[in-house]
């Protein structure tokens, strides 16, 4: 996910990179939480999580992730489990193929 080659970067950039890595690890963890909530039809939990990702993904430099979270949020409002699962798959694929 992250390029581990040594680069000459500032301390500030180094710490921001650590924050990004932590953020992405938490988002990967969300996949299982989203799926469990979807199985249990806990649309409020899905909405809350997706709303938070929409709100903070840009701050960490991953605005595209917010696009997938918006879809999850929309489909949770509609209580559409099939479309939520499709969006979770896309969200997961995005995270799996993301290169930073």
**72 exposure class (CB count in 10 Å sphere: 0-12, 13-18, 19+):** buried
Is 62 inside a domain boundary? Answer: yes
| Torsion 62-65-70-72 (CA) sign | negative
Domain housing 50: 11-97
Is 3 inside a domain boundary? Answer: no
pLDDT (tens digit per residue) in 59-83: 999 999 999 999 999 999 999 999 9
Is 5 inside a domain boundary? Answer: no
Of 99 and 95, which is predicted with more confidence?
Answer: 95
Is 4 inside a domain boundary? Answer: no
| Predicted local confidence at residue 6, as pLDDT | 54
Is 16 inside a domain boundary? Answer: yes
Is 25 inside a domain boundary? Answer: yes
**Number of domain units in the chain:** 1
């Amino acid at each position: 996910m992250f390029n581990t080659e040594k680069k000459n970067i500032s301390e500030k950039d180094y710490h921001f990179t650590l924050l990004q890595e932590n953020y992405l690890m938490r988002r990967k963890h969300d996949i299982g939480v989203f799926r469990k909530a979807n199985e249990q039809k806990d649309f409020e939990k899905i909405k809350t999580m997706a709303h938070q990702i929409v709100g903070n993904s840009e701050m960490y430099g991953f605005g595209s992730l917010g696009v997938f979270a918006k879809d999850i949020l929309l489909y949770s409002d509609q209580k559409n489990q099939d479309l939520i699962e499709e969006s979770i798959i896309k969200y997961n694929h995005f995270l799996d193929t993301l290169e930073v």
